[in-house]
Structure 1
């Protein structure tokens, strides 16, 4: 571990500045928690009005301590907090946790004070957590620099889960939901305003802990995507799944996140692409964050999405099948051999097709689970099993049901989730180590999430290539269409045949060379959207019309005061569908590529997928398959399938180009890209490239 990681997660000595005798006050809670959890380091309460505090010697100031503590918890407010941080930096404290609020979240003046504390800390080589943080808690070491009420309401237990959150409230909520499920939690860290240390820093830290088997994140902004990506790569290598809530999905949510943390929210669809690229599973809220935790901790590795449903109720079988479809799970088709073997074990009135209704016979034969489940284990079609028990209790041998289910899950290695709304029944299954939920939607949601997440993590990651820098003009700003198409053609992209003309005679010659019909379009770096100004003419089929249109467009450019870069004469191409490919440099995440439905309604319909390079054709094809236009791409109502592979290749090439340009290309817009039938290719018929100044 680096010095910071050691000081933050396993400090040998901790000072509490603003300590309180009252274990229920913010200044008293960290001390009470650490004494209760057996913190083995040295604990130094600081309070000038007391000599002793919670059974510990108390000191008037940091300067009076017998040693420089590795960590200081700053609980005093306002100017006192600023002075305390300055003191800590001067004394050589390695990590300060500033619980005090009233800084960056309050406005510009508070932000300036917060920045001052950060600058003082950085100048001294000290790391700053907060301000406005609930604090850090490591139940593995007993170092609890936190005042969370939940640690009193729901007693801690060390375990394999780590929670890192920008919000203290969301950290506490995730912790509470996990403890409610009986799961131990080792790390609960909140970063607050993130003047210095952010979620990515602490995520990296806890990912180094070999006892952590599941990492849960709550983010309101992603200040250090490179470090988060490195954490995800390390986690993938050691088999540590990461699940995240990224708040601020909507415009309103983004505004709320900004006012709450003093930070700007990231563009949500780019966040989706970034998290997906790095194998981080995104969920909607802290409830969903904890939902699948039992399955992750049991090491579920479903081979696919095929599900077997078993219940003692026919209605539950039907409802389970409905819920499975909603979650995108397939009802497995069992083999004839499996069905025959089930029929030999079940009553004649039971159902042996999937879903399997074992009926109320479960009441009289408590061994039915032990008879049915091993049969399913032998069927390759059964990737996972869902057991729904809507009725049980007195007269049922619930302990045997749970024991048999747990034995099956361990022996077969297949993911098994149980739904039991009766808490008395659910508690028995949980005690046996079975992932248990109150209803079918939660149980199947957990199965579906882990199936999808594990499939994502099994996909080989395309590696970044060392690409040559493309030849680019020296100037910045928009390139005209001819220059944009030339840049793309030089990279091997399929651009439409065209000629740039500066006289009517040249336009006639271009028509004669290309043959009709042609499109005639004004070409000016000052007019990126030509159709809005009537500067596009389509389907011209004789030389005189081309020459006349040239003259009209040339003169209109002059009348508009726009640069007369020329007029394009281009072959008219007939595609079966208009697609688009675009790319831009996101200020947080770097190059991002968009691919999907194109045409003039592209912004209104927004049926595009975002991808973070590097990626390959297979990843693009998979992303296109999730769009609303997927049925059209696959061919429908007698139309042939479209050349999705050609579109994917354009997207891959555009991703390579914008990465190779090393920031010089600000954006690329290819719309439309005309798609032909499968095997017949794609053609870029309009392009716009924007350059940035070289640094």
Structure 2
């Protein structure tokens, strides 16, 4: 249901959705494979330290925990109620939650607006709004935070800790992002599935993320935008970058989006693009770009000028990057245009057959010492805004040692507040290096195009801030 702007009581209570001291699992089950079983299993497995209250009228214990007939029978306070019961039972559960004084409710149950039961969904939503009891969902997979060891839903694992707040209508794509986090160290501060998004809206989670000390960037997967003006206000007021991906624009996609999360798309893509532009959101067109851009904006400061220096041991990577910068409307400048003296200083760290243009090719024989010297010179030059480092493994170049030198140079010069981005193109050794770099706060990517997309996003966000 539509809202005009974020509601303060909702934002205040979202902390109970991601760091509750107590959870009632309504519809908890003794059968492995049921949602009500997996929720409790996930909470226990991933180290949740709060109290868990199973609610099941036909059980005395669920997973070695005392079970309660209704949520009203729980003697202690309940911060969060996770509801996994059939749709026709949800209304009575919400009434019990309101009587109990539950702070926030999450409904994982499906079979609401997405199958034509809009009136029932709206009635539940209005009941929760009348009692100022925020409702997340229905029809969602869950939420969690690695910082609080909190995994609440039917979710197989937590992401690695990091700066990206992931807000998604799609449970499947959210799970894909969590898998990418595990595999590629895309660090997240928290994640949440909104499903049908009946009550709590994107804008309210954006405002919550804006206050969250663990969040550096806010990634939003959108199937339908019910409250565009409220969304726009929250993004405009955010002091953290917001990255969006909007799906369901094709004729068949519109039908699929409604069947999936009851998302309606009465407007064409130009309407959404205008909303994102006016809001100051960074829009990604592909899922990979969405993840890559969210990571870099969470880790690195934006840039407003285009004085980018690329240092590489591979001419091919330099050419791929240079061409993609051109395609993205952010062409590289020659080193002599950025800083006339820098080329001479970098010359000391390359063989005579190397190229001091831009990209700066320090050759396939580059050593860790040469990388260290060239990157240090570029990073410390006041005319340089960003240093883009590329490496590919050769029989001479030790990529692991080079990565260690880049990390040391970056740590030593953090006070300069300049972005360092890396591309590591190769096999397993490069994948391992990407993980090491990301764990040290340096965005690293396996292809030139991904790295360039990330840099372009930093420049775009810098321009957004300048306009504000």
> 1:68-100: per-residue Cα shift (whole Å, max 9, x none)?
523211111132233323332343333221111
**Distance (Å, rounded) in 2 between the aligned partners of 1:422 and 1:232:** 39
**Distance (Å, rounded) in 1 between the aligned partners of 2:138 and 2:212:** 25
* 1:584-623 paired onto structure 2 within 5 Å: none
In the alignment, is the contact (CA less than 8 A) between 2:391 and 2:399 conserved in 1?
A: no
1:259 equivalent in alignment to 2:252: no
Paired residue for 2:433? 428
> 1:17-76: per-residue Cα shift (whole Å, max 9, x none)?
111235553112221222233333321101223212222111122232223523211111
In the alignment, is the contact (CA less than 8 A) between 1:44 and 1:59 conserved in 2?
A: yes
Alignment counterpart, residue 95 of structure 1, candidates 95, 100, 104: 104
**Distance (Å, rounded) in 2 between the aligned partners of 1:229 and 1:142:** 32
Alignment counterpart, residue 214 of structure 1, candidates 193, 213, 217: 217
Moved over 4 A (4+): 378-381
In the alignment, is the contact (CA less than 8 A) between 1:72 and 1:96 conserved in 2?
A: yes
Paired residue for 1:347? 351
**Distance (Å, rounded) in 2 between the aligned partners of 1:105 and 1:186:** 30
In the alignment, is the contact (CA less than 8 A) between 1:13 and 1:42 conserved in 2?
A: yes
**Distance (Å, rounded) in 2 between the aligned partners of 1:430 and 1:78:** 43
**Distance (Å, rounded) in 2 between the aligned partners of 1:377 and 1:8:** 42
**Deviation at 1:441?**
0.6
* 1:237-316 paired onto structure 2 within 5 Å: 240-265=240-265, 266-316=267-317
**Distance (Å, rounded) in 2 between the aligned partners of 1:305 and 1:272:** 24
Moved more, 78-87 or 49-58: 78-87
In the alignment, is the contact (CA less than 8 A) between 2:81 and 2:97 conserved in 1?
A: yes
Query: SS state of the match for residue 39, structure 2?
Result: helix
**Distance (Å, rounded) in 2 between the aligned partners of 1:415 and 1:274:** 29
1:53 equivalent in alignment to 2:62: yes
- For the aligned residue pairs, the C-alpha RMSD in angstroms reads 2.5
Paired residue for 2:333? 332
In the alignment, is the contact (CA less than 8 A) between 1:132 and 1:192 conserved in 2?
A: yes
**Deviation at 1:283?**
0.9
In the alignment, is the contact (CA less than 8 A) between 2:350 and 2:363 conserved in 1?
A: no
Paired residue for 2:4? none
**Deviation at 1:278?**
1.9
**Deviation at 1:255?**
3.4
**Deviation at 1:342?**
2.9
> How many residue pairs end up in the alignment?
448
**Distance (Å, rounded) in 2 between the aligned partners of 1:131 and 1:297:** 29
**Distance (Å, rounded) in 1 between the aligned partners of 2:344 and 2:300:** 31
In the alignment, is the contact (CA less than 8 A) between 1:229 and 1:278 conserved in 2?
A: yes
**Deviation at 1:111?**
1.7
Q: Give 5+ residue unaligned stretches, structure 1.
A: 461-695
In the alignment, is the contact (CA less than 8 A) between 1:178 and 1:290 conserved in 2?
A: no
Cα pair distance change 1:134/1:296, threshold 3 Å: same
Query: SS state of the match for residue 159, structure 1?
Result: strand
**Distance (Å, rounded) in 2 between the aligned partners of 1:328 and 1:305:** 11
1:43 equivalent in alignment to 2:52: yes
Query: SS state of the match for residue 422, structure 2?
Result: strand
**Distance (Å, rounded) in 2 between the aligned partners of 1:246 and 1:350:** 44
In the alignment, is the contact (CA less than 8 A) between 2:82 and 2:105 conserved in 1?
A: yes
Cα pair distance change 1:405/1:141, threshold 3 Å: closer
**Distance (Å, rounded) in 2 between the aligned partners of 1:327 and 1:256:** 31
**Deviation at 1:310?**
2.3
In the alignment, is the contact (CA less than 8 A) between 1:305 and 1:448 conserved in 2?
A: no
Query: SS state of the match for residue 367, structure 1?
Result: helix
Query: SS state of the match for residue 193, structure 1?
Result: coil
**Distance (Å, rounded) in 1 between the aligned partners of 2:435 and 2:147:** 24
**Deviation at 1:320?**
2.5
Paired residue for 2:199? 196
Cα pair distance change 1:368/1:267, threshold 3 Å: same
Query: SS state of the match for residue 14, structure 2?
Result: helix
In the alignment, is the contact (CA less than 8 A) between 2:215 and 2:298 conserved in 1?
A: no
Using the size of structure 1 for normalisation, the TM-score is 0.60
Paired residue for 1:396? 397
In the alignment, is the contact (CA less than 8 A) between 2:163 and 2:299 conserved in 1?
A: no
Cα pair distance change 1:456/1:347, threshold 3 Å: same
1:81 equivalent in alignment to 2:90: yes
Query: SS state of the match for residue 418, structure 2?
Result: coil
In the alignment, is the contact (CA less than 8 A) between 1:218 and 1:246 conserved in 2?
A: yes
* 1:507-656 paired onto structure 2 within 5 Å: none
Structure with higher Rg: it is 1
1:185 equivalent in alignment to 2:188: yes
Q: Give 5+ residue unaligned stretches, structure 2.
A: 1-7
**Distance (Å, rounded) in 2 between the aligned partners of 1:310 and 1:132:** 48
Paired residue for 1:532? none
Using the size of structure 2 for normalisation, the TM-score is 0.87
**Distance (Å, rounded) in 1 between the aligned partners of 2:378 and 2:307:** 12
Cα pair distance change 1:355/1:136, threshold 3 Å: closer
Paired residue for 2:451? 443
